Structure 1
């Protein structure tokens, strides 16, 4: 264990508050004093952020000698703008109370341009920012002077973005910073890392894991997690919104000082907020927060929460990372958590103190979600985490970084390649791939090099690369970024006040006079002007905006736990009577899916022949499998009609029965049908649109104007068709394929399923729908609607279908008379 002395100024500040410097905080300071990078894994409320900043505060303590030179000393990188602002609030107090001469500022997309310009000329000592803003800073010629004296980079909540494209961008930025300031130390913080060693390797320059100290935090009080169940009702068969819980949830809000309510989508946040508003007879102050609200609306609610003025706040993932509001005494998760690490992170927002247990309530929307919630609770109780695996860095992100480097200064390709390869994400880049990336940035690629607008960098006779024209620097900075949402329009009142953004596709469905609910307000459309949706207050509301995007995936860890619970018959005793009855009748009439089998059921229903595959691979993988199976069914004359999927199962129907599902599940389906399907579907085009925007090939922003979503899609589709025909091995086609395989189709989990499908397959033929099939069958015809909007409509149909599935003519011995009558 590394040891160091705590500066007396810091020790006194802790003592004055009756606190002590915790072991992991002292070890983070010791690692810095020993010139080692550090990876801190500690429970929520353990003082991780302060631990990350402790070496910086120590450097400015008079007891350690003269303060550092003026200029940027420490960069703090956060996945969320809200987290950076929260950290600033909580960091300013100790700095002022210790009397340390430290200036702290934030920089994000919300920062005014004049302040951004001043920060480059006269930087603060500590700058709190995001990966995207950091990358933009590195694109300026003065970045070399700005970062030359940088001593530390602190990466908070590293698990939230290191394994994705934002992590790729940050990894490249770290490599550039290390080249500018060779003595810079890196620190990463997280409460929910499943594999600390993998993150140590990601953090280390050149993958030198020995250069990174692993610091593990003192254990905190175990969380108190409960699962909410309906009063005198059954756990619903289908739906996700869990609106059945609104009366109980409202009573919970009344009992607590402050309740933080998490949903998995922006639509559900608006929907639950509306439902709570309808139930709010006491006019309690309840707020809403999600990423599509305006900056002013988000800041207002964040300030209200910090001051303890709200009794409840409905939020999405926009607030589930590290935000420290100590007065929250209960966290509610509406619907399934999808992963134990995500749940742990959200639970940690309650009683944000290491020695106080965090209290959380899980509200399942249906019976499968009850099992998932139970699995997540068990994982939290046992301290087990899950997370995404690291994958090779994206070529589209690399192209964006190359352009940023060219904007800052001319570069030599060998030197920049060495810099790029010093990060784990891009250690795989060889000279051939590197030349292809440079050729793309320089010309757009073989098929596009005749067009001047794609010629962004040129090579001088001495081998140095530079910008083809200074205007490309401005264009890059206007368009750079990693998050590519669907194109949005601003929702504004006539006076110009912005409420936030809705997707262009939703706005296109509205006509003058239509009403909708957004940001907790009832609004009426006055007109669509350019890319602004002009509204006024309304007396009643209509629809709620929904947003596209990939769904949160069910983690493999939780999927395995759910399957284990389903075959653990002794463990069913802890389940509610209706859930236990559901599993018992399924066990009697058919079989149960477990860790060691792949259950497939076939049965007739409503003049169709159904086959249900219980895969537990998540919605994306099941959607992909549904597409592939229906194609094979068509080739075999089984006359498929369609399919519907959820995280747990896939239901396919047709006019002819599937007598043997094994040929439909052979692994070679991924070698032939998968490639043909993806190339002919919208998936590859959608993936190409994203990589084209990220790489800078297609620009959304121009001085004084912005392309609409239709214009961007038209441009990317046109280029995609040209490249598929004339340059199918183009860098961006390769990048789009990587995205389509990993994100949109979850090909990894699908491949794992099919590799063992035949050996594990159990095919059960039934005379009617099974109990386990009801939750997926009731979604037929509604799967394209926003989650939550059809829950009440589902109730009647689900109960009707369940009556058929649960009918017991010859009941098993273990069902009581009451259960049979129920």
Structure 2
């Protein structure tokens, strides 16, 4: 394509003024967009993807006089939408300023933070280019005049496609794109991404199963430096309880040596704890170290982002809320606290530093225990090999489809046959069965066979002209208030008493355990609870010490790509290869593991058995991730109970799991039968038998019921509490199980439980792989270094914090003494 590109004079002049030269991939995108091609651009973070696609759209469409909305730009996050708007404003001003006689493009931003007056103005006179989010796009599609609003649309851009492709928000985006393409068959569609494994699958999900388009990869060698903070005294018995507390002083030294640093944690609780820890060691940094995560109020996050951009902050402790492409040029360093859990996630976070073409990115891993030293070595090895995780689109989630039907019923209505054909133009629903489609239609028309007597579930009804529409204005308003596929645990707003600033949200279950006067850390502040009223926790500044909130869903499992590389790294250690600094530091731990037991390898399945005062222990190390290990442990315990009745305690982590029986078990002789691999269907059935699957599915059903509109969180002027939401969804769940067992949402809850929470496919693959490996059974005299974190995990669930710490310290003293003997 490069030989066909002619760079617009205004673009060339603006690039020269900036001292830039267009990259080949940028010119390639410009040529393809000028030729009317759609496609996916894959380029390293901070190399100019936004300019490639934005200026490609401007050059391709600039000859047309803008009448209405011509370019729609979809981003996954509000913060990214605002930052993208600023970047596009600068770029458009730079190129349009040289051709003032040419038609000038206007630019707008539309997210949940956009004021009603701005939205009204955009409706009267749409901007030429509109930056928005998947939720706000769905809201636009729910307008009665949606087709007219998008009548002049020529191009859609989806930014950070890797963030959307693997979840329901991505499915929501696929459905919206299918609708826009139906109205505008020649619509240009471009996606941008930085960290994807299977690029062709990602492009197919973006453009549809029959969509043709280009795949442009930037062949740029962006400098990336990855290193690890090596602990002064690496532990021989790793455990994750201290969240890397011992590394805080070393982290502070790194922060002190640079102007601006991002410290990424994997959970919001960990972010709160790390900010406390930094300020205990450096109280003079109180105004220089901030915190950023998704539960903080928008105003709090905005203030932190401004501080980063202006270079006013020394460090920000954050979560995935800052993973995406927000441009913070002053950031020099990234510290990853604990395991990144995946290769793509580490690369994405590394790109937050040196976020500009030609600048190097640097990320430093801060291990919270010795096993994460091995992970650090493994993730660097995976990056050198180019091994990055793939992401796949969810398959036919009926809750998202049901919501979309109501949205389109509001947005001018639909005829079932035409909409079915349109929906099947998405990868998510390309194989949607007629039975499932019929169920969805019946569900939005009358709530299915069990709810047809209730008017609130008659949301979309066919008219005499055969077009299905939403006629009830009250139901229309309720739907618009609840559009979206983001479902979080019910939360309580935290606000200064009596009518002060709102700080953000904590989970209702956390506040429910507190009484007035109790203290807790939130938004980097110690707060004292005054009272709770109308789902708002009123607080004042506290003194002393307090608890840290825990948010559900914070534990990410180790990716298959990283887990496999970790086992390869351990295998090299078993052969005496400790070549990297990380492996040198982990050497005492790994050599002790070899001395007392063995190291896992790709060819062996390590099984350890131990008889202690607690009972008969089995430790297995499949390295399949926390979710799959929970299912595996439950399955093997269930099989063991079929062989001889008994009860078992279970502990899991990302590396393996423990089964503990109070009665005698001959684990060694039973193990071959316990880990037998059958068919995937048989494994699935056994997993359901081995767990309280109904209760787990009930919890999953609550989220599905909210997305589908069966249970709504927001009513005009009010919001439901967690207890009300759970009670409502549980009632529906029980009714469906009794009277409508073929209910589509019920089936989806069971499927998502198995596919997402328990990861049955990965579980089955692990079981199959375990059977192909040579069983290395080690009879332990005492707890091995690999077994220690599993025992610690089990203690954590059954002991108070004080007794847990005391018991761990006693165990460590005894084990270290044995290791030194």
Equivalent in the alignment of 1:90:
87
- SS of the residue corresponding to residue 425 of structure 1 reads coil
1:28 match: secondary structure: helix
Q: Secondary structure at the match of 1:780?
A: helix
Structure 1: unaligned runs, 5 residues or longer: 808-819
CA 1:154–1:527: 2 relative to 1, 3 Å? same
2:635–2:687 CA contact under 8 A, matched in 1: yes
Q: 1:735 aligns with which of 748, 752, 767?
A: 748
Please name the residue that 2:772 is paired with: 759
* Equivalent in the alignment of 1:768: 782
Which stretch of structure 1 is more off in the superposition, 579-588 or 630-639?
Answer: 630-639
* Alpha-carbon separation, structure 2, partners of 1:550 and 1:784: 20
Q: Which residue of 1 aligns with 2:671?
A: 661
What secondary structure sits across from 2:302 in the alignment?
Answer: helix
Shift of 1:235: 6.9
CA distance in 2, matches of 1:562, 1:468: 57
1:66-87 CA-partner distances (Å, limit 9, x unpaired): x532321211111111111111
CA contact (8 A) 2:456 2:475 kept: no
What is the TM-score with the length of structure 2 in the denominator?
0.94
Summarize deviations over 1:693-729 as a string: whole Å, max 9, x none: 1011111111111111100100110110111111111
Is 1:269 aligned with 2:271?
yes
C-alpha offsets along residues 475-530 of structure 1, whole Å, 9 cap, x if unaligned?
A: 11011211111001100012242000000001101110111110011111110001
- Larger displacement relative to structure 2 (20-29 or 589-598): 589-598
**CA shift in 2, pair 1:505/1:709, >3 Å:** same
1:452 alignment partner in structure 2: 455
Cα 1:738–1:235 change in 2 (3 A) is same
Check 1:797–1:14 CA distance in 2 against 1; reply closer, same or farther (3 A cut).
Answer: farther
Report deviation, 1:56.
2.7
Q: Which secondary structure state, in structure 1, belongs to the residue aligned with residue 57 of structure 2?
A: helix
* In structure 2, distance between residues paired with 1:434 and 1:165: 18
What's the offset of the Cα at 1:340? 0.7
Q: Which residue of 2 aligns with 1:707?
A: 720
Structure 1: how far apart are the matches of 2:157 and 2:797? 42
After superposition, the C-alpha distances for 1:316-358 in whole angstroms (9 at most, x for unaligned) are 0011111111111110000001111110000011111232221
Aligned residue among 518, 523, 536 for 2:522: 518
Contact 1:650–1:776 (8 Å) recurs in 2: yes
User: Alpha-carbon deviations, 1:229-264, whole Å to 9, x = none?
Assistant: 112454761116211111111111111010011000
Change in CA separation of 1:789 and 1:218 when aligned onto 2, cut-off 3 Å? farther
Report the counterpart of residue 543 of structure 1 in structure 2: 547
Q: 1:157 aligns with which of 135, 140, 160?
A: 160
Aligned position for 1:33? 34
Name the SS of the counterpart of 1:764 in structure 2. Answer: strand
Superposed displacement of residue 618, structure 1: 0.8
Which residues of 2 match residues 18-57 of structure 1 at below 5 A?
Answer: 18-57=19-58
Match in the other structure for 2:586: 579
Instruction: Tell me the SS of whatever aligns to 1:769.
Output: coil
Aligned to 1:258: 260
Distance 1:376 1:413 in 2: 48
Secondary structure at the aligned position of 1:424 is classed as: coil
Pairing 1:79-158 to 2, within 5 Å after superposition: 79-99=76-96, 101-158=104-161
Report the counterpart of residue 101 of structure 2 in structure 1.
none
| Aligned pair partner of 1:478 in 481, 503, 522 | 481
1:332-347 maps to which residues of 2 (within 5 A)? Answer: 332-347=335-350
Query: How many Å separate the matches in 2 of 1:195 and 1:635?
Result: 42
What CA deviation, in whole Å up to 9, does each residue of 1:74-125 have, x standing for no partner? 1111111111111122222222233352322222222223322332222222
**Relative to 1, partners in 2 of residues 1:672 and 1:748: Cα closer, same or farther, differing over 3 Å?**
closer
Show CA shifts across 1:564-610 (max 9, x none).
11111242243455621322232243232112232221111233211
Deviation at 1:798, TM superposition (A): 5.7
SS for the counterpart of 1:536 is strand
CA contact (8 A) 2:292 2:304 kept: yes
**Corresponding residue to 1:390 among 385, 389, 393:** 393
Distance 1:12 1:485 in 2: 47
CA-to-partner distance for each residue in 1:279-317, whole Å, 9 max, x for gaps?
114436111111100010011111111111111111100
Is residue 603 of structure 2 the alignment partner of residue 602 of structure 1?
A: no
| In structure 2, C-alpha distance between the alignment counterparts of 1:785 and 1:266, rounded to whole Å | 23
Unpaired runs of 5+ residues, structure 2, are 98-103
Change in Cα spacing, 1:321 to 1:83, as seen in structure 2 (3 Å) is same
Give runs of aligned pairs for residues 172-321 of structure 1, distance below 5 A: 172-208=175-211, 211-234=212-235, 237-239=238-240, 241-283=243-285, 285-321=288-324
Cα deviation code 1:748-768 (max 9, x no counterpart): 110111234333243333333
Retained in 2: the 8 A contact 1:338–1:553?
yes
Cα contact 2:393–2:427 (8 A) shared by 1: no
- For residues 528-539 of structure 1, the aligned pairs below 5 Å read 528-539=532-543
Question: Structure 1, residues 672-709: CA drift from partner, whole Å, max 9, x if none?
Answer: 33223456443101111111110111111111111111
The total of aligned residue pairs comes to 801
- Cα 1:551/1:387, change in 2 over 3 Å: farther
The C-alpha deviation readout for 1:110-166, integer Å capped at 9, x for no partner, is: 222332233222222221111111111101112111111111111111111112111
Is 2:679 aligned against 1:697? no
Partners of 1:400 and 1:694 within 8 A in 2: yes
1:435 aligned to 2:445? no
Change (3 A) 1:145 1:119: same
From 633, 643, 647, the counterpart of 1:636: 643
Q: Which residue of 1 aligns with 2:796?
A: 782
Cα distance change on mapping 1:223 and 1:740 into 2, 3 Å: same
Match of 2:511 among 501, 507, 512: 507
Give runs of aligned pairs for residues 554-593 of structure 1, distance below 5 A. 554-568=558-572, 569-574=575-580, 575=582, 579-593=586-600
Deviation at 1:398, TM superposition (A): 0.7
Alignment of 1:360-375 (within 5 A): 360-375=363-378
* d(CA) in 1 for partners of 2:545, 2:221: 45
Question: By how many angstroms is 1:442 displaced?
Answer: 1.1
Give the distance between the partners of 1:386 and 1:218, measured in 2 at CA. 19
Alignment CA distance shift 1:107-1:524 (3 Å): same
CA distance in 1, matches of 2:305, 2:684: 50
Q: CA separation in 2, counterparts of 1:759 and 1:233?
A: 34
Contact 1:775 1:798 in 2 (8 A): no
Change (3 A) 1:592 1:489: same
The structure-2 alpha-carbon separation of the partners of 1:107 and 1:540, relative to structure 1 and needing over 3 Å to count, comes to: farther
Q: 1:570 to 1:353 in 2, by over 3 A?
A: farther
TM-score, structure 1 normalization: 0.94
Evaluate the alpha carbon distance shift between residue 633 and residue 117 of structure 1 in structure 2; reply closer, same or farther with a 3 A threshold: farther
Checking the alignment, whether the CA contact within 8 Å between 1:165 and 1:393 is kept in structure 2 is no
Pair 1:73 & 2:65 matched: no
Helix, strand or coil: the match of 2:795?
A: coil
Q: Secondary structure at the match of 1:124?
A: coil
In 1: Cα distance, 2:713 partner to 2:779 partner? 53
Q: 2:759 matched to which residue of 1?
A: 746
